[in-house]
A and B are shown apart, each in its own frame.
Chain A
Amino acid sequence: MPLVTRNIEPRHVCRQALPNTIRSELECVTNISLANIIRQLGSLSKYAEDLFGELFVQAGAFAIRVNTLGERVDRLQVKVTQLDPKEEEVSLQAITQKKAFHSNLIQDQQLFCRPSLPQPVQETYLTCNPPPPLNNLSQYRDDDKDALKFYTDPSYFFDLWKEKMLQDTKDIMKEKRKHRKEKKDNQNLRTLNPRKIKTRKDEWERRKMGEEFVVPKNDMGYHDGQYGAPTQKRTSLLSPTHPPPAPPMPCSTPTGTRPNLSPPPAPPPPPPSTGFGVPPPPPPSGFDSSPPAPPPITNSAYPSPPAPPPPLSQASLSPPPPPSLPQGGGAPPPPPPPPPPGPPPPCGPPPPGPPPPSFSIGAPPPLKSTQAPSEAPPDAHSDLLSAIRQGFNLRKVEEQKEQEKKDNYGNDVAAILSRRIAVECSDSEDDSSELDDDDWSE
């Protein structure tokens, strides 16, 4: 519905009811029209004044800016003439010691808010009825919400967007961590197996017939493995509200050297491939290589599983998952690399280990079911489970605290939000640069 900024008041010049007691109606109409014309001219001149006023204010602001700019240029000119003949070298120390140039310019925010409404539109707005005073009822509510917000909430969309952005940043952080773990693990596994040299010969051959005929290689694989995923690239705006993937991929990769649980290597492809184009090939190949390597050591390593679990349980208690990961990773190497993921099914039980307990909701129930046929003493497992649950509870409380902190930040967070978007972009750039590295290395 287009809103007119300035409406000239008597819209129809002649449409006015005539009083009954008039003889010469035609003259009456003429006079009435002339009077309305004068009123129209009046409102026109008022709006013209308003218009020119706005333009004048803007032009005045620009004039001030131009003046300051001119002064700065003059000062710079003087400075440059002073410096030039004497000093031309810049010591290397200065370059490294100084912090990088950071622009001070502030970006415009809050452009379309109530105070920035132009005056005529504000007047139009004021002629409307105000919303009903529902806030008088909010004292009777049990939850602490404004009653008026149910009727009309101007900040609704902003809050929605803010939450979405926060969620996106969290997702990105998690994905980054997983990606790093995968990379580390892949690097570890790769050192075990000499990787075959992959050349770009395939690509050149495909291109030789003409660049138009190049069919991207990954299409087939994607259609099979990833039917539901919309895009290959992660776009921060279309947030894949894809819940953190189940235990398989992220937790099992670091525990590739550790006793891994029931989750077989098959599910790994779907979770990481939502965001990353290339990784799906490497991880499964990484997995294929991992079972063959550890099995030879299985027999000697059987007594060891109970040993790693307790240190792992202690590791999982420490709240932030990333530190616990390296700790857990440090624990197993001293004992010989313990038994592997798939092959020995009876060895199913052990620890969900370091996986961020937020993923472990699904994990404990399947764990319980696999515990029945377990060999290891049930005591260690129940301790583990309780420890995991406590860890999970601990993390919930922390999340609440974080949320409270964020609420206290307030809504001048628009700047912080735009920074978060920048972080997202940089994260996606980092990820894409990592992907490019993968492309190059493969």
Chain B
Amino acid sequence: MSGQDDPVQREIHQDWANREYIEVITSSIKKIADFLNSFDMSCRSRLATLNEKLTALERRIEYIEARLVILSETFTRQL
């Protein structure tokens, strides 16, 4: 019996070890996938806030430029 069991047992042990190995690898893959998703989400949210600020700034600059154009035109007119 032990003669039969040994190779079988060895195989089964080996199989268990392999499965544990595979399990470790797959769970790390899942962690990587999770990390990528959360990184993506946080990056997008930060980029979106940046976008908002940029558009606000752009609008203000347009307005200021328009005001300055008026001022400079009146100045040149007076010259």
Contact = CB atoms under 8 A, between A and B. Distances in A.
Interface of A: 8, 13-14, 24, 26-27, 29-30, 33-34, 37, 40-41, 44, 47-48, 51, 55, 58-59, 62, 65-66, 69, 72-73, 76, 79-80, 83, 86-87, 89-91, 94, 98, 101, 103-105
A6 to B, nearest CB: 9
Contacts of A62: 47, 50-51, 54
Nearest to A98: B70
Interface string B31-47: 01100100010011001
30 contacts: A14-B22, A26-B18, A27-B11, A30-B15, A34-B22, A37-B25, A37-B26, A41-B29, A44-B29, A44-B33, A47-B36, A51-B40, A55-B43, A58-B47, A62-B50, A65-B54, A65-B58, A66-B54, A69-B57, A69-B58, A76-B61, A79-B72, A80-B68, A83-B71, A86-B75, A91-B74, A94-B73, A103-B59, A105-B58, A105-B59
A-B pairs, top 7 by smallest CB distance, nearest first, are A87-B75, A26-B15, A30-B18, A101-B66, A33-B22, A94-B74, A55-B43
A334 B33 CA distance: 86
B62 interface: yes
A94 B70 contact: yes
Contacts of A87: 71, 74-75, 78
A255 B44 CA distance: 63
Contacts, number: 93
Interface of B is mostly: helix
A80 B71 CA distance: 10
A79 B68 contact: yes
Contacts of A105: 55, 58-59, 62
A245 B72 CA distance: 55
B74 A51 contact: no
B9 interface: no
B56 to A, nearest CB: 11
A55 B32 CA distance: 17
Interface of B: 11-12, 14-15, 18-19, 22, 25-26, 29, 32-33, 36, 40, 43-44, 47, 50-51, 54-55, 57-59, 61-68, 70-75, 78
Contact of B61 (A34, A55, A69): A69
A103 B32 CA distance: 45
A13 B29 CA distance: 12
Given A8-B33, A69-B57, A76-B64, 20 more contacts: A14-B22, A26-B12, A26-B15, A27-B15, A37-B29, A41-B29, A44-B29, A58-B44, A62-B50, A62-B54, A69-B61, A72-B61, A76-B68, A80-B68, A83-B71, A87-B75, A94-B74, A101-B67, A103-B63, A105-B62
A30 B65 CA distance: 69
Contacts of B71: 83, 87, 90
A14 B22 CA distance: 10
Contacts of A98: 70
B41 to A, nearest CB: 11
A21 B72 CA distance: 89
Contacts of A29: 15
A104 B55 CA distance: 12
Contacts of B18: 26-27, 30
B28 to A, nearest CB: 10
Nearest to B17: A30
Contacts of B29: 37, 40-41, 44
A26 B54 contact: no
A73 to B, nearest CB: 7
Contacts of A34: 22
Contacts of A14: 22
A40 B25 CA distance: 11
Contacts of B61: 69, 72-73, 76
Contacts of B70: 90, 94, 98
A271 to B, nearest CB: 43
A257 B50 CA distance: 63
